């Protein structure tokens, strides 16, 4: 497995840095076996080191892997035990969960998902485009205690989950609910406020200090499990100052745009070998923290789906070579 950085152009520098921590970093191009299969949304203060329209104007290039051809069936897991590992209180309101579920319910067949339909996979001589057909297939609230902290996230001292622990939770909840793995299913794991995460126990790349969310995949019984790690929405590191909150819940609106970012990237690049630029950036990276025009809800929102309002980042449109709210 392999780390997929938000800019493969910086992979040489990062390889030197991370080799000191014992983390393998793959080279540009199709993922090969190393340590992680992860692609992350950088925190706002990291963004200048990653994708910006000026630094990477695109286009997205097809690299031979699969897409979520039939749209994404999403499964939301809310992991909210009674306490954090350090004994502190957890927090995730029912309203926060509702905003997330509404987003995943509304995403399919609407503007951002419309934009995905220009991307495709090739199998033999057949070209198959992403269909604008996705929906929330299930949700589950897990109150099981967090495992012992497996890493050190400086933003959440004493409370940290490694990617391996995230994967284990996804697999466990899949088993409880009878949810199955395939290329069109994505399992999005939302954790409590105060709970952090890192790629591994070295603590080199962690939530809030390095990333705000990520998507990846692993194999279970020979099938790909597409998943996303969604730390609690933290506007101080995962949102542009002054961004409006159409749901009057800043944390929920912060995680909503991160969820849209990860879902869109998973649809177009579920195994990290389909659509990305020559610099390694995915569809959401090129437009991260770019919201376009707020034309809904008295200028508090840029999307209105099924009568509900959202403030979501734009996504890259290969046809226009730009970040769009609706496409293509």
Give me the number of domains the chain comprises: 1
* Per-residue model confidence (pLDDT) at position 33: 31
Distance of CA 247 to the CA centre of its chain: 21
What count of residues does the chain have? 328
Q: In whole angstroms, how far apart are CA 68 and each of 39, 47, 216?
A: 16, 27, 14
Distance of CA 191 to the CA centre of its chain: 13
Say what the alpha-carbon torsion angle 272, 275, 280, 281 is, to the nearest 10 degrees. -110
Question: Could you tell me where the DSSP H helices lie in 194-241?
Answer: 235-238
Helix, strand, coil shares of the chain, percent, nearest 5, are 25, 25, 50
* Per-residue model confidence (pLDDT) at position 23: 32
* Per-residue model confidence (pLDDT) at position 259: 98
Query: Residue 3, exposed/middle/buried by CB under 10 A (0-12, 13-18, 19+)?
Result: buried
Q: Say if residues 106 and 306 touch (Cβ distance below 8 Å).
A: yes
Q: For 133-145, how does the pLDDT look when each residue is reduced to its tens digit (9 = 90+)?
A: 899 999 999 999 9
Could you tell me which of 266, 278, 192 has the C-alpha nearest to residue 40? 266
| Bridge partners of residue 129, in order along the sequence | 120
The contacts of residue 136 (CB under 8 Å, 6+ apart) are: 74, 75, 76, 101, 104, 105
* Regions of the chain where pLDDT drops below 50: 1-34, 49-51
* Per-residue model confidence (pLDDT) at position 319: 95
* Per-residue model confidence (pLDDT) at position 15: 34
Helix and strand element counts for the chain (H, E): 6, 17
Q: Say if residues 291 and 75 touch (Cβ distance below 8 Å).
A: no
- The vertex-254 CA angle with 48 and 279, nearest 5°, equals 30
Could you tell me which of 5, 123, 6, 139 has the C-alpha nearest to residue 73? 139
Q: Say if residues 198 and 160 touch (Cβ distance below 8 Å).
A: yes
* Per-residue model confidence (pLDDT) at position 47: 65
Q: Say if residues 233 and 255 touch (Cβ distance below 8 Å).
A: yes
Distance of CA 291 to the CA centre of its chain: 17
Q: For 200-252, how does the pLDDT look when each residue is reduced to its tens digit (9 = 90+)?
A: 999 999 999 999 999 999 999 999 999 999 999 999 999 999 999 999 999 99
Question: Could you tell me where the DSSP H helices lie in the chain?
Answer: 11-19, 94-107, 111-116, 163-177, 235-238, 250-268
* Per-residue model confidence (pLDDT) at position 35: 62
The model's pTM = 0.89
* Per-residue model confidence (pLDDT) at position 20: 33
Residue 37: give the domain boundaries. Answer: 2-324
């Amino acid at each position: 497995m392999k780390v997929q950085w938000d800019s493969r152009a910086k992979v040489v520098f990062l390889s030197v840095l991370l080799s000191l921590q014992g983390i393998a970093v793959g080279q540009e191009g199709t993922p090969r076996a190393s340590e992680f299969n992860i692609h992350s949304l950088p925190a706002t203060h990291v963004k200048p080191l990653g994708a910006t329209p000026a630094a990477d104007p695109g286009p997205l290039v097809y690299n031979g892997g699969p897409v979520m051809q039939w749209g994404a069936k999403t499964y939301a897991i809310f992991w909210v035990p009674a306490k954090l590992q350090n004994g502190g209180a957890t927090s995730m309101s029912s309203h926060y969960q509702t905003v997330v579920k509404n987003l995943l319910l509304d995403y399919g067949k609407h503007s951002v998902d419309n934009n995905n339909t220009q991307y495709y996979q090739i199998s033999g001589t057949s070209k198959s485009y992403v269909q604008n057909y996705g929906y929330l297939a299930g949700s589950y609230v897990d109150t099981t205690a967090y495992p012992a902290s497996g890493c050190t996230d400086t933003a959440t001292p004493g409370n940290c989950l490694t990617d391996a622990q995230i994967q284990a939770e996804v697999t466990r909840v899949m088993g409880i609910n009878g949810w199955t793995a395939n290329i069109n299913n994505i399992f999005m794991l939302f954790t409590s406020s105060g709970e952090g995460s890192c790629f591994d126990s070295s603590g080199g790349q962690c939530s809030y200090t390095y990333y705000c969310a990520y998507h990846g995949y692993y194999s279970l019984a020979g099938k790909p499990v597409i998943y996303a790690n969604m730390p609690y929405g933290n506007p101080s590191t995962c949102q542009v100052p002054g961004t409006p909150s159409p749901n009057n819940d800043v944390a929920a609106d912060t995680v909503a745009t991160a969820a849209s970012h990860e879902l869109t990237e998973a649809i177009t690049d579920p195994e990290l070998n389909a659509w990305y630029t020559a610099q390694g950036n995915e569809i959401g990276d090129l437009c991260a923290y770019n919201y376009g025009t707020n034309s809904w809800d008295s200028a508090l929102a840029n999307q209105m789906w099924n009568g509900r309002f959202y403030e979501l980042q734009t996504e890259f449109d290969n046809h226009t070579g730009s970040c769009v709210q609706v496409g293509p």
